[in-house]
Chains A and B, each alone.
Chain A
Amino acid sequence: MSDDRYPDWEAVYNDNVDRVYRLMYAKVGNRPDAEDLAAEVFVTALRPLRLAASVGEVRAYLLATTRTVLAGYWRRTLGREITVLEEDWALVEPAADSGHTGAGARAEAILAELPERYRRILQLRFLNACSLKEAAAELGVTVGNAKVLQHRALRQAAVVADRMEA
Chain B
Amino acid sequence: MRGVRRFVKDLLRGRRTKPFTVDRTDESQLRTAIALKAGGADTGPSPEFVESLRERLRTELDDNPPVELPRGNSRRRFVTSVAAASAASIGLGAAIERGLSGAGSAVTAEPPPADQTLMPDNGEWRAVVAAKDLPDGSVRPFDAGTMIGFVRRTSEGLYAVSGVCTHLGCKLALDGPARQLNCPCHNAAFAVDGSVLHHRLPTALAPLPKLMVRESEGVIQVFVPPQPA
Chain A, 66-77, contact with B by CB distance < 8 Å: what is the 0/1 string? 011101100111
Question: Could you tell me which residues of chain A, from 1 to 42, have a CB within 8 Å of some CB in chain B?
Answer: 9-10, 13, 17-18, 21-22, 25-35, 38-39, 42
Give the contacting residue for B39; candidates A78, A83, A108; CB below 8 A. A108
**B40 lies within 8 A of A127 (CB):** yes
Q: Does B103 contact A (CB under 8 A)?
A: no
Query: A53-B78, A83-B31 are known contacts. Are A30 and B69 too (CB-CB below 8 A)?
Result: no
Q: Does A151 interact with chain B (Cβ within 8 Å)?
A: yes
In the complex, B66 has a CB within 8 A of chain A: yes
Q: At the interface, yes or no: B86 with Cβ under 8 Å from chain A?
A: yes
B66 engages A126 (CB within 8 Å): no
Q: Does B177 reach chain A (CB closer than 8 Å)?
A: no
A18/B45 contact (C-beta < 8 A), A50-B66, A52-B74, A129-B40 known: yes
Instruction: Give the contacting residue for B28; candidates A61, A79, A161; CB below 8 A.
Output: A161
For residue A110, CB closer than 8 A to chain B, the reply is yes
Report B's interface with A, CB cutoff 8 A: 5, 8, 10-12, 14-22, 27-41, 43-46, 49-50, 53-54, 56-58, 60-61, 64-71, 74-75, 77-78, 81-82, 84-86, 88-95, 98, 145-146, 168-169, 227-228
**A122-166 to B contact mask, C-beta < 8 Å, 1/0:** 100111110000000000000000000001001101111110000
Taking A18-B44, A127-B41, A154-B8 as given, write out 10 further A-B residue pairs in contact, using a Cβ cutoff of 8 Å, ordered by the A residue number: A22-B43, A33-B16, A34-B45, A38-B49, A43-B57, A45-B85, A67-B93, A101-B38, A104-B39, A111-B36
Interface centre among A25, A52, A76, A157 (most CB of B within 10 A): A52
By beta carbon, the residue of chain B nearest A52 is B74
A82 near B34 with CB under 8 A, answer yes
Q: With A9-B66, A32-B15, A79-B145 in contact, is A46–B61 under 8 Å at CB? A: yes
A57 to B81, CA, bound (A): 11
Give the docked Cα–Cα distance between A117 and B57 (Å): 47
**Min CB gap B91→A, angstroms:** 8
Residue pairs across A and B with Cβ atoms less than 8 A apart, 11 shown, are A35-B49, A43-B56, A47-B61, A48-B81, A75-B93, A77-B18, A80-B145, A107-B36, A107-B40, A154-B36, A157-B32
The chain B residue sitting closest to A40, CB to CB, is: B92
